[in-house]
């Protein structure tokens, strides 16, 4: 029976290409697509796929945050991260969030299919280069050294940061998160202090470097 998959990427051309690759294999059935992290959570609750193929840099809620919340809410749904980011920090953060697989976007279509099948069967799957990087990093103790500055933030502070760097006003963020604008400003100030950034430009630069939000 084909593995059921939800594709999460904010670029339609990528979603369409992945759908063609996965369904063309005859081994996977794509049950839905999502263009943002919050849409992933909504779709997964409704569709209950076996596997979510997750990009990291997405609007509203980045893929690592979405993975952590998805695995907490629906532990039976597995996640394979498919990202342009291949740094140790991104890999360790994704695995710590609960991802069972990690691929770079340069991966062949056959490897994406293999990763989906492996993860659906309860195994882990890492691109060969990623696997070597993870093992070497573990031996060097990189997992501890690569603790992300984002770990200093509360979940709500991370939500506010993502919306701020996407250009939303305090009033807009307040409506989305059901907070007062003053509370939003407080969360933003706390987050910036914890991250050691002094202005919006610094916050945007930090967000891009850490894959919080896609580069537009």
Q: Is the dihedral of CA 128, 131, 137, 138 positive or negative?
A: negative
Q: Rounded CA gap, 196 and 69, in Å?
A: 26
Q: Indicate yes or no: pTM above 0.85.
A: no
Q: Rounded CA gap, 40 and 54, in Å?
A: 9
Residue 155 Cα to chain centre, angstroms: 14
The total number of residues written for the chain in this structure: 216
- Taking every pair of Cα atoms in the chain, the longest distance, rounded to a whole number of angstroms, is 53
Q: Rounded CA gap, 202 and 197, in Å?
A: 5
**Residue 60: predicted pLDDT:** 85
Residue 135 Cα to chain centre, angstroms: 22
CA distances to 5, 89, 116, 150, 168 from 72, in Å: 18, 21, 20, 18, 27
In CATH terms, the fold of domain 3-143 is Rossmann fold (3.40.50)
**Residue 100: predicted pLDDT:** 94
Counting Cβ atoms within 10 Å, is residue 56 exposed (0-12), middle (13-18) or buried (19+)? buried
Tokens describing residue 140: 């060097």
Angle between helices 200-209 and 181-195 (to 10 degrees): 70
Q: What number of helices (H) and strands (E) belong to the chain? A: 11, 6
**Residue 59: predicted pLDDT:** 86
Could you please report the per-residue DSSP string of 62-125? -HHHHHHHHHHH-TTSEEEEEES--SHHHHHHHHHHT-SEEEETTS-HHHHHHHHHHHHTT--E
Q: Any idea where the domains of the chain sit in the sequence?
A: 3-143, 149-209
CATH number of this structure's domain 149-209: 1.10.10.10
Q: How does pLDDT run along the chain (216 residues), one tens digit per residue?
A: 899 999 999 999 999 999 999 999 999 999 999 999 999 999 999 999 999 999 998 888 899 999 999 999 999 999 999 988 877 778 888 888 899 999 988 889 999 999 999 999 999 998 877 776 665 665 455 555 556 677 788 888 888 888 887 778 889 999 989 999 999 999 889 988 888 888 877 887 787 677 666 544
**Residue 195: predicted pLDDT:** 85
């Amino acid at each position: 029976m084909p593995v059921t998959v939800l594709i999460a990427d904010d670029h339609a051309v990528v979603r369409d290409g992945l759908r063609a690759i996965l369904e063309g294999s005859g081994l996977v059935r794509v049950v839905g697509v999502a263009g943002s992290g919050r849409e992933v959570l909504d779709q997964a609750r409704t569709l209950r796929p076996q596997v979510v193929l997750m990009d990291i840099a997405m609007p509203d809620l980045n893929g690592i945050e979405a993975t952590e919340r998805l695995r907490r809410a629906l532990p039976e749904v597995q996640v394979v991260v498919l990202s342009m980011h291949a740094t140790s920090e991104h890999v360790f953060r994704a695995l710590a969030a609960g991802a069972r697989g990690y691929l770079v976007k340069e991966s062949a279509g056959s490897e994406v299919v293999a990763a989906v099948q492996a993860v659906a069967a309860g195994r882990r799957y890492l691109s060969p280069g990623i696997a070597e990087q993870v093992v070497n990093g573990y031996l060097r103790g990189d997992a501890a050294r690569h603790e992300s500055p984002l770990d200093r933030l509360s979940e709500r502070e991370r939500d506010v940061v993502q919306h701020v760097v996407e250009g939303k006003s305090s009033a807009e963020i307040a409506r989305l998160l059901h907070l007062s604008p003053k509370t939003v400003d407080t969360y933003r100030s706390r987050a910036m202090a914890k991250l050691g950034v002094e202005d919006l430009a610094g916050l945007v630069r930090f967000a891009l470097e850490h894959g919080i939000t896609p580069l537009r």
